[in-house]
Chains A and B, each alone.
Chain A
């Protein structure tokens, strides 16, 4: 054979390009279907992540008992990203190139998910979102399907602002963590306030390493707002609630809360107890909301959670994570393939039935009919886990179809309301 330099370079170049091509034959192999993800199992989102992971493992067990996906057993591969966004691109590259997974699920939360969006877009992969907020807003990836009850910023903060306006509030203080999620939400809240004619009297971002919030709460009190909209991460949320109870935010404040992550985690709810009273905060599910299958799931989850020493009630994330599995199950059963393009096309065109209700996505891959719950803590007692199992301790004031009561105002008075 006659090898010229040009031929050799050409062949080497072709080989390199072929190796680097993003396209994957996800199609019909034999052997198990590999589903991969990273999950924050330590760090600030670790408590939520471990509960979510248990729900996904329950789905894997359930689907394998039924014969798997497309008749193939499901293998679930998961790594701890430590709530560190620097870790997720490496983990997802490993999932794709070393573990050769067939389907991807995003980690819980906005901060760990945002860095993997360019990777999945570049490789044109289907990615199931997991309680992220607006990570696809700029990337515009057409195979992103977020499973969280919100859509844009107004879908989240609208209920809170409406409740405040109903109570006659005309000014707002905004306190937000210097993190992707909180900043996205804060930007939306600022726009909404402006549009609604609500004056912003205090607007502050705080760094994630803040240890004590006394000074910030005192500054908010001095600004005399009538609404306080807080967007915080779990550790900060607990510290903020404590500081509010100790220092107070002023008698003119009608409502307080809105976007505090962590007040949905059972250990925090039990530890804070009566200090939560009066706070109006977002949620994904509270007892009393009826979705087919959710109560059965939660009772099975509670037994497993006690063994695994994770969030004992699991209202916030676990049902939605189990639903992610259901979504993949329905899409693959309907298309009879694991082809990413066909799965994405089916998900864009169809509604899926899950234990968190029916879900349909808009063109950005967010819920087409968002249903962020704004619920007010009322009559909460200290050190009592069982009180949370029944409806009543979190009164739903938004959205209308799940409403169980009116918001109690002003905030100081609401803290003693039943």
Chain B
């Protein structure tokens, strides 16, 4: 093993960038699973769908990130429709909603995956932009621009969602529905509409996260499977429903993983995420930033 201060600094820089990337791909799930208790295992598949639609839009000359923003309203509507179906078919019907809902979302993930294979084939798809394939040189350090983009997207998503949830009426209603749904109903609000709206936001955010995903690396239809464990790990580690907690948890995972990759056996890297999760849940069952 080679150790130097330079290498450690670089491991920390890469860790922060990787961690931001993890936070950005998890933040939609932080809303749907963390705040709404919906077992949305199809979240990574929806994100991959966002990556593919971004790919399609870039063939018309659009920048990948602009394409991601353009797709957000469409994904918002898709999210609203998915939640409505989930609510009518499972949540409304009783206490086993979570278990049956899990099967529904697994099914949805498979449908998206197979649909992508039928339309695009199994080949990897990637996009091109000025910030892909080049890096920022800071002395001896080389920082890939695509990872800086991930960092930027994570910050924008985290702070926009935090502000939205704390400063707007609907945002506060979303937090309220997560804390005490009957109380919200007694105050005259419709929890289902609020949840529907929140799920729409979570899905809309996934479109931008999907665009970022295809900027960071090529995607293929079955790639969602790689992210199911990691995204749930970030959300649970953060403490369900905390946006800034999601960013912090992503950063912790990213830095730990980067240090392991650079200085220790890379094979241990996947164990870092779940090892940290076990330790945190043992000490603080509500997660790092959960109440």
Bound-state CA distance A246–B133 (Å) is 6
Bound-state CA distance A206–B21 (Å) is 19
Contact assessment for B126 and A271 in the assembled complex, using a CB-CB cutoff below 8 Å = yes
Within 8 A of A (CB), among B87-140: 117, 121-124, 126, 128, 132-135
Contact assessment for A216 and B218 in the assembled complex, using a CB-CB cutoff below 8 Å = no
Within 8 A of B (CB), among A120-176: none
Contact assessment for B147 and A214 in the assembled complex, using a CB-CB cutoff below 8 Å = yes
Mask: chain B, 217-230; 1 = CB below 8 Å from A; 0 = not: 11011110010000
Q: Which residues of B contact A248 (CB under 8 A)?
A: 142
**Residue of B at shortest CB range from A205?**
B267
A-B pair number, CB within 8 angstroms: 125
Contact assessment for A215 and B142 in the assembled complex, using a CB-CB cutoff below 8 Å = no
**Residue of A at shortest CB range from B145?**
A246
B266 beta carbon closer than 8 Å to chain A: yes
B270 beta carbon closer than 8 Å to chain A: yes
Apart from A207-B269, A210-B261, A223-B2, 11 more pairs, CB < 8 Å: A46-B220, A50-B121, A204-B265, A205-B265, A215-B15, A216-B261, A218-B11, A219-B2, A222-B2, A246-B134, A311-B123
**Residue of A at shortest CB range from B119?**
A309
Contact assessment for B216 and A212 in the assembled complex, using a CB-CB cutoff below 8 Å = yes
> Which listed residue (B6, B117, B262) contacts A42, Cβ 8 A?
B117
Residues of A within 8 A of B (CB): 41-44, 46-47, 49-50, 82, 178, 202, 204-207, 209-212, 214-216, 218-219, 222-223, 234-235, 238-239, 242-243, 245-248, 265, 267-268, 271, 275, 309-311, 382-383
Contact assessment for B18 and A212 in the assembled complex, using a CB-CB cutoff below 8 Å = yes
A243 and B218 in contact, given A215-B14, A219-B261, A219-B262 (Cβ under 8 angstroms)? no
Least Cβ distance of B30 to chain A in Å?
19
Contact assessment for A235 and B124 in the assembled complex, using a CB-CB cutoff below 8 Å = yes
Least Cβ distance of B212 to chain A in Å?
12
Within 8 A of A (CB), among B176-211: none
8 tightest CB-CB pairs across the interface, nearest first?
A: A46-B122, A215-B261, A206-B266, A246-B135, A246-B144, A267-B123, A247-B142, A215-B262
A218 and B262 in contact, given A209-B270, A267-B124, A271-B126 (Cβ under 8 angstroms)? yes
Q: Which residues of B contact A238 (CB under 8 A)?
A: 124, 126, 217-218
Contact assessment for B133 and A275 in the assembled complex, using a CB-CB cutoff below 8 Å = yes
**Residue of B at shortest CB range from A265?**
B123
Q: Which residues of A contact B124 (CB under 8 A)?
A: 47, 234-235, 238, 267-268, 271
B7 beta carbon closer than 8 Å to chain A: yes
Contact assessment for B133 and A212 in the assembled complex, using a CB-CB cutoff below 8 Å = no
Bound-state CA distance A309–B217 (Å) is 22
**Which of A43, A209, A218, A235 has the most chain B CB atoms closer than 10 A to its own CB?**
A218
Mask: chain B, 134-173; 1 = CB below 8 Å from A; 0 = not: 1100000010111100000000000000000000000000
Q: Which residues of A contact B266 (CB under 8 A)?
A: 204-207, 210, 216
> Which listed residue (B2, B4, B218, B265) contacts A235, Cβ 8 A?
B218
B258 beta carbon closer than 8 Å to chain A: yes
Bound-state CA distance A246–B149 (Å) is 14
Bound-state CA distance A243–B147 (Å) is 11
Bound-state CA distance A328–B263 (Å) is 50
**Residue of A at shortest CB range from B7?**
A222
Least Cβ distance of A81 to chain B in Å?
13
Least Cβ distance of A160 to chain B in Å?
22
> Which listed residue (B18, B144, B265) contacts A247, Cβ 8 A?
B144
**Residue of B at shortest CB range from A262?**
B124
A239 and B217 in contact, given A211-B226, A212-B147 (Cβ under 8 angstroms)? yes
Can you sample 11 A-B contacts with CB below 8 Å? A41-B122, A42-B122, A43-B222, A47-B220, A202-B2, A204-B265, A211-B21, A219-B7, A222-B4, A243-B144, A267-B124
Q: Which residues of A contact B261 (CB under 8 A)?
A: 206, 210, 215-216, 219
**Which of A44, A206, A214, A234 has the most chain B CB atoms closer than 10 A to its own CB?**
A214
Contact assessment for B123 and A47 in the assembled complex, using a CB-CB cutoff below 8 Å = yes
**Residue of A at shortest CB range from B133?**
A245
Within 8 A of A (CB), among B237-273: 258, 261-263, 265-267, 269-270
Bound-state CA distance A202–B2 (Å) is 9
**Residue of B at shortest CB range from A46?**
B122
Q: Which residues of A contact B63 (CB under 8 A)?
A: none
Least Cβ distance of B55 to chain A in Å?
11
**Which of A44, A205, A246, A382 has the most chain B CB atoms closer than 10 A to its own CB?**
A246
